[in-house]
Chain A
Amino acid sequence: MTLLELEDIEKAYENEEVLHGVSLGMEQGDVEVLVGPSGAGKSTLLRCVNRLTEIDAGTIRLAGESIHDLDSNDLRQRVGMVFQDFNLFAHRTARGNVTLGLEEVLGMDHDEAVERAEAHLDQVGLAEQADSYPAELSGGQQQRVGIARALAMDPELMLFDEPTSSLDPELIGDVLAVMNDLAAEGMTMLCVTHEMGFARSAADTLTMLDGGRIVERGPPERLFENPQHERTESFLGQFTDFE
């Protein structure tokens, strides 16, 4: 089943055009990695999917329904998002970060929300840290709380915007491990990340975005081994050199 469909998405900020007719489709269970240079419009594209940003033209469909026919808060329950800077609620414990949406958005009662939050914290390896506040956690732990917070809402689709870019190298592995598990469990994931190891091992599709246009899109091996565009080759080249 096609879970997410983007058709000719256009987006401009003030006078600056950021997305020029982007189209792509994701089947349920697909893992798609989105790469591209800074300013390519990757974050903008993700934010359009859960309507943190409104598109100017085009159509976005989630499970066949146009997202503009949905209430934006309902849409956001169905689409989880993980941020580069974690964006945890500073005044709430790890558990409290997860329960807020469960109680206030899903209307779950407190005990049920706590139980579910703890299950999801356990899933990301943070059962022990449930009572810690964000400022008491490492970046890698904070990001895993961020993932648990999104997962607990039981989303159909997860959006990741450079989830490891703010992390010290030694902490990246824990977060990628959680993402790999999720991919293996069949979660549909649209990820902006420059972790090419993850792209190779977990992604079904790799998409190269530049200047608000999809330059090339296909299975990761093909883009790595046999890119059709010089732009893709040079961009991916900077990463493969390191490996």
Chain B
Amino acid sequence: MTDGNTTDDLADERASLVEQVPERRRIAIAIVGAVFWTWLLARWAYHNALLDVIATALGFPDLIRSEVPVLVRQGWIPGGPFRAVADAVAGVANALGPADVLLEWLVWLADLAAFAATIAPKLADGAFITVYLTVVSLLLGLVIAVPLAVARVYGGRVLSTLSLGYTELIRGTPLLAQLFFLWYALQLGSVARAIGFTGEPPIPQAAAMVAVVGFTINSAAYQAEYIRSALQSIDAGQLTAARAVGLDMRGTIRHVVLPQGLRLAIPGWTNEFVYLIKYSSLAAFITVPELFRAAEGVGSDTFRYTKVYVIVGLFYLALVLTTALAMGRFEAAVSIPGLDSSGNQE
């Protein structure tokens, strides 16, 4: 699919997760993903304060239960049947005498499912913050990344050096160090609280705001790199043609360069999206109760760390795969007729 001439190393890395997946598996991911997201959205809605107010006003005070604290939230999928299977299989295994590996695995899996059913509501809450951090930071980052990339490619000496300096500084230092810098060194948390990020719904927690700032700064740098390489792969002849009809540089960038460059950047952008879903777990270190921290909480309450991390891993996997799938769809939907995703003639 890629043609080395129009893409550079960074862009080659784009090779998107989904494109290499065969159609049948893609459908399977879509089905599992739809179930997962339906459940997740329903969970979020079920405990949403705003929806609660609306439902109560409409005369359904018990429809939405935003008052239930996270720690005591009950699942909708009963753990009991899984428990029963686990116990039954365990009984059979004991009767058969010395450990049967296959049966032991079955017991472990049934037990995992039962455990997942009970802890999933708590993880759903963390997943909301993870999705929130990721989407907000990615979009704010994009707003910064576009001018950074344009400055880098068309900005002249000073602007392009500034842009380069920013991206190299950010890409050259660990994300966790950046978060700690904002949180501990700059004490941005107190600033956020002073501005009014109290953590009382629907106002987000101060720590989450600091995480958004950190992830935005960070992902802007990576997105700028993807967009830069996309802009540079646009054939210079089109820029000459735009100038030749009388467009100025601004008009050329806006009407010729960006519409194509942003399309070409989608695969790289998908990568960044997926990375950010995973790296948003670093927000746990500055006390944001996102998915990973929610899992840690469950772990320290139950001491069943192995199963907690397996389950939270599946959550991340579901988020990542559905995102990649959706982005693949988006890429196809906005593709230019007659051209493939790297801008080459089909």
Contacts and interface: CB of A to CB of B under 8 A. Distances in A.
A135 B238 contact: no
B346 interface: yes
Interface string B224-247: 000000000001011011111111
Contacts of B343: 90
Contacts of B237: 83, 85-87
Contact of A150 (B242, B243, B245, B346): B245
Nearest to B245: A101
Given A133-B336, A135-B337, A74 B246 contact: yes
A153 B246 contact: yes
B258 to A, nearest CB: 10
Interface in A139-157: 146, 149-150, 153
Interface string A67-88: 0000001101100110101111
Interface string B313-346: 0000000000000000000000011110001011
Contacts of B240: 52, 83, 87
Given A87-B237, A89-B241, A135 B246 contact: no
Contacts of A89: 238, 241-242, 255-256
A90 B336 contact: yes
A84 to B, nearest CB: 9
Nearest to B337: A133
B246 A73 contact: yes
A69 B113 CA distance: 78
A80 B246 CA distance: 9
Nearest to A78: B246
Contact of A52 (B243, B255, B263, B339): B243
Contacts of B346: 135
A135 B260 CA distance: 14
- Sort chain A's interface into a size bin: 20 to 34
A50 interface: yes
A50 B244 contact: yes
A101 B247 contact: yes
B247 A133 contact: no
A91 B260 contact: yes
B338 A133 contact: yes
Contact of A90 (B244, B247, B255, B260): B260
A77 B245 contact: yes
The listed residue with most A CB atoms (<10 A of its CB), out of B235, B238, B346, is B238
A128 interface: no
A78 to B, nearest CB: 9
B87 interface: no
A109 B343 CA distance: 30
Given A90-B336, A135-B339, A100 B247 contact: yes
The listed residue with most B CB atoms (<10 A of its CB), out of A74, A77, A87, is A87
A91 B244 CA distance: 18
A122 interface: no
A104 B346 CA distance: 30
Nearest to A104: B251
A147 to B, nearest CB: 12
Nearest to B340: A135
A80 B339 CA distance: 27
A74 B343 CA distance: 32
B248 interface: yes
Nearest to B344: A135
Given A76-B246, A133-B337, 17 more contacts: A76-B245, A77-B246, A86-B237, A87-B235, A89-B241, A100-B242, A100-B245, A100-B247, A134-B338, A135-B337, A135-B339, A135-B345, A146-B241, A149-B241, A150-B245, A153-B245, A153-B246
18 contacts: A52-B240, A52-B243, A74-B246, A76-B245, A76-B246, A77-B245, A77-B246, A83-B240, A83-B241, A87-B238, A90-B235, A90-B339, A100-B247, A100-B255, A100-B256, A104-B247, A104-B251, A135-B338
Chain A to chain B: the 3 pairs with minimum beta-carbon distance, closest first: A135-B338, A101-B245, A87-B241
